[in-house]
Amino acid sequence: MPSLVINFAAATNVLAQERGNCKIKPSTIFIDNSGCVDDAQLTFNDIFTPDITNGVPLPVLTTIPRLNVTIPAGVCQSLEDSLKDMEFLGTVSVTRGALNAACLLTFMYDFL
């Protein structure tokens, strides 16, 4: 099971990218906002280009927000229950409302 630990020194962080024709299935997301004085407003996005269809002969890059969470200042939280039915089709990225390098995120996932 691959995993990645990041901080929020950058506005957007890539957590995982599609491999072949596999979906990304997150198993655990752990956010450590204990060293921060502000709430962490996180948005997890799925970035992909859909297949060509009869109605769309030239599809464009699409971004779909799959999960929005707010973690209070001074709190650590695990998001396992929220992930049971979640799958990402392409690149998984996360943005935080305000930059804060003290906020840490651990992302664990599998390929389906």
- pLDDT of 102 reads 94
Residue 107 CA: distances (Å) to CA of 7, 34, 49, 55, 83: 11, 17, 23, 36, 11
Q: What is the pTM of this model?
A: 0.91
**What pLDDT sits at residue 54?**
76
Give the range of the structural domain holding residue 18, as residue numbers without chain letter. Answer: 3-111
Helix (H) or strand (E) holding 38: none
Number of structural domains the chain divides into? 1
pLDDT at residue 24 in the model:
97
Residues of the chain with pLDDT under 50: none
Where residue 21 sits, what CATH number does that domain have?
Answer: 2.60.120
The amino acid at 79? L
